[in-house]
Amino acid sequence: MHRQLILFKTKSSLLIFVFIMIVSNLASGCSLVIQPADSTPIPPAPTYPKHLNPVDLVNVTFTVLIPAPLPDGEKLAVDILDEVSGLPLNINRHELEMLDETHYQTSISVALGSDIKYRYVRLGSSIYTEVNVAGTSVRYRMVHAVRGLETEDIITAWPDQPYAGTTGRLYGTVSSNVDQMPLPDTLIIAGGYQTFTDMYGKFAIEEIPVGVHNLVAYSIDGSYQTFQQGARIMENMATPADIKMSPLPLVTVTFIVTPPADAVGAPVRLAGNFCQLGNTFADLSGGVNTLASRMPVLSKLDDGRLMIKLQLHAGNDLRYKYTLGDGFWNSEQSLNGSLNPRQLIIPAEDVVIEDKIETWRAKGADPVLIQVTVPESTPESDSVSIQFNPHVWMEPIPMWPMGGNQWLYLLFSPLDQSDLLSYRFCRNDQCSLAYDKDSFNDPYLLDYGIQDSYQHSVSMWHNWIPTDIPTNVVAADIPKREETFVTGIEFLPKYHPSYQSRYSIVFDELISVGSNWIVLTPTWKLNDQAALPLLQPVPGISPLTHDMMEMIDLAQTAGLQVVLYPQIDFGDKYDVWWLKASKDDIWWQEWYSEYERFLLSYAKLADVAGVERLIIGGDQILPSLPGDYLLNGSDALAPAIAEKAWIETLQNVNTAYQGQILWALTYSDGFNTKPVFVDMIDAFYVQFNTKLIDGVYTSNLQGLEENLNNILDTDILDLKSNFNKAIMIGISYPSADGAAQACVVLDNGTCIDTVSLSPDDPLLNEVSIDLQVQVDLYNALCKAIIERDWIDGIISRGFFPPVKLMDASSSLNGKPAMDVLWYWYSGLK
């Protein structure tokens, strides 16, 4: 049973005191622990190293060159940014003094060793934030504060003044100065651009304005000392940078904090500027950078204080705050209303830091209680989130479970009586897909000052309508197969940092349905603003290396064999990109170089993480194969060097990676491409999404099975006979009208390819859901594939891990077809 005592104050009475008691009884499955008890003895009073107090302050001088004199009446300022609260949400602005028409300067006093994140703005009738050559806003520059530091910056352009100068290129490698090992996930900042290093420590930045720029290399987990030096960019030249970073020793930092007597028992998290404290280094919704689901939770001591021990790296600039939400919502406040995070230059020895939270409350404001009751059909493993919209929808915040399908959130800050705050509910932080239908279409309004308590009920979740679809299998007996037979799941190549907290649950569920393989599909983004092909990981849409390593470890711990299938994020459609690309000789050389760097980075990651298989190929890269065609049938114009380039790439991958390599090729009314370089691969991954019936599907499995058997015993068997390689078949059919025809029919009669459908595809809003056709297709496909002993495995593609949906996509997560998969997969064990 769950118990809770909630005491409220009126506007003129006692302080709010919310005491949440949750009785842990995991065996009966009736509770979740909001605040874990901790009987750890209270540590002795801390002994602070002398250099912690007082802080050693230094002056940092900012000198900046602007592209043109400012218009009359305008001023120039530097914005010091707070990445814990959110880059645009807690700005400390300093106006600069004019030295001449194009040079400005100011000095700021900061703690020695600070890492300052900043950018420049023009102040006038409008506020203009500096932009780079492509016209994209500068996320932030960085400078590491040392004595006597004078940093000189060049502003590239403004939104109303595009760049008209010349540019160059910066590339390089980051490694440890101790063992020379490459350092992946290092943030590189130069000339208003940011990028991350790959597994070999390599990086590249295109189109940097000519001049000298401050180049900074920053360790996102704090394990290395921040590096900075000047980098001279020459016109149409490539500037190399061989960066050596110094490792920092680990120390134990114990945080003990005295909280206010508000919301006692609610989860208190530690938000910070490093990745292990919830910083995603991505521009998330509403400008925040931290996610509550990725922050550590403090434990409760016997005397009511809270504690957490962290392994951090000495010498780092740690910015942190305590929070009942994320770095912005419900984070601790000073009594004067300041949102500024705390700062600690981490000492060289273990230390205990004692803090006191002044208040959770916005200045002069009382908190607001929001409660919601959700449907009993809500999956047991789900969490419920609340999403706020002060002017734009922000990242969702996990609510607090109260038992009995009830969830609570006590909103302390920010609260502004001059604004109406809207909010809505969703599942697992996925507020664009798994939302409360009522509040999504008509968000609730928080009218502060009029009402301080709100109670709601979710009548129906979008994309979640539990239904009884018959899942009778088409065979009573399952053929006997070897233990090595693959029963796999392939994740959809979509990513958001909020997914990370769901992987442990999902991997356990996949084991329970009999899966033995998990195919992970990390992506790099294609920079379509660069003149030449440029591939790079982009936080927020690409899992960085530390995310991938955690994901792989969780899967392996659950008992799954991990396979990596790296993908390129082309933005809209890859076929459109290939059609528009210039494809001259220089372009092709850069394409093959970038694609090889992309593959080699994941080959190294797979090797380091003990991943036994790597998949390459697929439709995305067909036009770069010798003699292939674009999807519209025109010649791809692959250059004469295509075959040589591919052979060298595969040779290099085989050298870097000792596991098996699978070649992905699509079967859709035949193979889209002929297998190439067969002697350099170990197996085929056939991506199967062909039409299986003609006309309207009416659950007539006989005709479907006849067509399927014919395809398997001709074209697919020929592939096996001709090359004598293991064959795994990946299947991807949506739960939508027209799936059996490999064509999803929109309301206007248009037919679209089933493979293009993912849960966030806007076309899904125009598609008729048909859960039964997906059940029938998986029944037929599993039976046909498993009973052929020359096929080595079956993999369900397009799985969307963060939330169960009953939509028209190919994902099986939460759908009746998952029961069919369980029957066949578990029956083989």
- Residue 554: helix, strand or coil by DSSP? helix
pLDDT of residue 700: 62
pLDDT of residue 794: 97
Dist. CA 105–CA 98, nearest whole Å: 7
pLDDT of residue 40: 38
DSSP labels, 604-639 = HHHHHHT--EEEEE-GGGGGGSTT-B-TTSSB----
Cα of first residue to Cα of last residue in the chain, in angstroms, is 37
pLDDT of residue 113: 93
Identity at 370, one-letter amino acid code: I
- Report yes or no: 80 and 99 within 8 Å, Cβ to Cβ: no
User: Which residues of the chain fall below pLDDT 70?
Assistant: 1-54, 417-418, 471-476, 628-636, 672-675, 695-702, 747, 754-756
Dist. CA 337–CA 386, nearest whole Å: 24
- Which token pair is 474? 């088409």
pLDDT of residue 741: 81
- Residue 574: helix, strand or coil by DSSP? helix
pLDDT of residue 757: 74
- Report yes or no: 773 and 742 within 8 Å, Cβ to Cβ: no
pLDDT of residue 5: 27
Instruction: Give per-residue burial for 82-121: e unless 16+ CB within 10 Å, then b.
Output: bbbbbbebbbeeeebeeeeeeebbbebebbebbbbbbbbb
Identity at 271, one-letter amino acid code: A
Q: What is the pTM of this model?
A: 0.91
Neighbours of 677 (CB within 10 A): 17
Identity at 90, one-letter amino acid code: N
Dist. CA 662–CA 611, nearest whole Å: 13
Helix axes 545-558, 503-512, angle to 10 degrees: 30
Residue 57's Cβ-count burial label (10 Å; 0-12, 13-18, 19+) is exposed
pLDDT of residue 635: 62
Dist. CA 776–CA 469, nearest whole Å: 10
What sign results for the dihedral spanned by CA atoms 282, 284, 288, 292?
A: negative
pLDDT of residue 33: 34
3-class secondary structure per residue, 373-413 = ECCCCCCCCCCEEEEEECCCCCCCEECEEEECCEEEEEECC
Q: What does the pLDDT look like over 612-631, one tens digit per residue? A: 999 999 888 888 888 765 55
Neighbours of 383 (CB within 10 A): 22
Dist. CA 151–CA 158, nearest whole Å: 20
Instruction: Give per-residue burial for 140-159: e unless 16+ CB within 10 Å, then b.
Output: bbbbbbeeebebbbbbbbbe
pLDDT of residue 558: 97
Q: What does the pLDDT look like over 549-565, one tens digit per residue? A: 999 999 999 999 999 99
CA nearest 756: which of 809, 693, 697? 809
